[in-house]
A and B are shown apart, each in its own frame.
Chain A
């Protein structure tokens, strides 16, 4: 492992720094809180001549993703960043990038969707586009945001599937942390040169991309896309391991925190996993066998791997920072249930929808979830879904 550089950075600064080191061909973006800083800082790198990137300031996020699609199809390594309403405005084009298998990387700073009007953190924005054909990777802190951005480029280009890297709005994006960044040359070597097999600006080998695909072919192309999501799983693992070799930080689909002998566990994504680790530590000090499964890769959903990781547990609490608005569970809980119940498990699964619109979740809140799970194991009836911290 090469020498690391320890710096103090916010999540946004960390993601912009990763983008500087990646030195993409094109960045097309439109500002939106709390993601604005990422491209603002990056625009500074462009202005200072620190990168070779063509920076395209556009008039909306729809245009941003459209420009990214054009750039990626032309053969350029392409990155953008957005949040919330911006991601929603991109939604139409996200499906096109996914369907045309363009390996764009998007740094999304998770923020709720209005209305009511709110700019704070929850996961509604990325959940809204969970089926758009993009890999989705969540970050627990600024370090992971940086590490995930560097890995995203390689994952996207190897799998030919676009990748969204998320951070929790304000909590990670604007919170300063101690992180270790790699040397520029290490990142350059890790991401390599982007050499697509086919691209529109290759005049020696002309191609058409995005032609009308009628009922006699569209389904086959979608079936290929579904397969590409499956095939991206070993690629994500491989890139996570190779990243570990240069950084000392290896990544997989999820992190199992004190899960070896755990009787029950919480599943969470993003910054809340960090808070939950503290609670798990406190409970372990009391001799209670609590664990945490921090899900990193939400798309493709690591269904078998999650079922395997949870198979010996008596109870699981799934934390959803968004709701499905179907009067039932949140999106993560629905998928976790499908993963473990398809294997015939009898595990107790309780869902906790929390933190909507930036509502804080504290150590006590998470401890109360573990207490619920211990009670449920003892046979006490518990609500299947709890809206954590909402005033009755």
Chain B
């Protein structure tokens, strides 16, 4: 529902009885649109231990070649578990209010 900007189907054309055809469809359901805080990665502090990747309940920590590179804000609900679990002294992940997040994508 979240990313569905086009007109929703009426009952005559809607897929019957709440049946969702196809596998892995949860991916199409963007759950990140009601976040009030977002995590930002402080790259210079990150030791790439991947604790945040392990703990993230929405698999929203993006890892490339064994290194944390940012967050997938389509799914991140802003729960802050990643920042809480970050073992780095002074934390490599900072939670900021969503309204202050303009232009602050991924990492700083």
Which A residues are within 8 Å of any B CB, using their own CB?
A: 99-101, 160, 198, 205-211, 213-214, 216-217, 219-221, 223-225, 227
A208 touches B17 (CB 8 A): no
Q: Sample 14 A-B pairs with CB under 8 A, ordered by A number.
A: A99-B18, A101-B16, A198-B21, A207-B19, A207-B20, A207-B21, A208-B19, A209-B17, A217-B8, A217-B18, A219-B11, A221-B17, A221-B18, A227-B11
The residue from B14, B21, B23 contacting A221, defined by CB atoms under 8 A apart: B14
Known contacts A214-B1, A216-B1, A217-B14, A209 near B9 by CB under 8 Å: no
- Whether B90 sits at the interface, judged by CB under 8 Å, is no
B14 touches A220 (CB 8 A): yes
The residue from B8, B10, B18 contacting A209, defined by CB atoms under 8 A apart: B18
A208 touches B25 (CB 8 A): yes
Closest to A208 in B: B20
B16 touches A224 (CB 8 A): yes
* Chain A residues with CB below 8 A from B1, complex form: 214, 216-217
CB distance from B16 to the nearest CB of A (A): 6
If over half of A's interface residues share one DSSP class (helix, strand or loop), that class is named, otherwise mixed; here it is loop
* Chain A residues with CB below 8 A from B11, complex form: 219-221, 223-224, 227
Alpha-carbon distance between A210 and B20 when the two chains are bound, in angstroms: 9
B19 touches A99 (CB 8 A): no
Alpha-carbon distance between A303 and B83 when the two chains are bound, in angstroms: 62
A213 touches B18 (CB 8 A): yes
- Whether B66 sits at the interface, judged by CB under 8 Å, is no
Interface size of B by CB at 8 A reads 15
* Chain A residues with CB below 8 A from B103, complex form: none
A220 touches B17 (CB 8 A): no
Alpha-carbon distance between A214 and B9 when the two chains are bound, in angstroms: 14
Known contacts A214-B1, A220-B11, A225 near B20 by CB under 8 Å: no
Alpha-carbon distance between A189 and B23 when the two chains are bound, in angstroms: 35
Query: A208-B19, A217-B1, A220-B9 known; 13 other A-B pairs, CB under 8 Å?
Result: A100-B18, A101-B16, A198-B19, A205-B21, A207-B21, A208-B20, A209-B17, A217-B8, A217-B14, A220-B10, A223-B11, A224-B11, A227-B11
Closest to B23 in A: A206
* Chain A residues with CB below 8 A from B10, complex form: 220
B23 touches A210 (CB 8 A): no
For A205, A208, A211, the residue with the greatest tally of chain B CB atoms inside 10 Å of its CB is: A208
CB distance from B9 to the nearest CB of A (A): 7
* Chain A residues with CB below 8 A from B8, complex form: 216-217
B22 touches A209 (CB 8 A): no
CB distance from A135 to the nearest CB of B (A): 15
B17 touches A225 (CB 8 A): yes
Alpha-carbon distance between A99 and B8 when the two chains are bound, in angstroms: 20
B25 touches A101 (CB 8 A): no
Closest to A215 in B: B1
Closest to A210 in B: B18
CB distance from A276 to the nearest CB of B (A): 39
A224 touches B17 (CB 8 A): yes
* Chain B residues with CB below 8 A from A214, complex form: 1
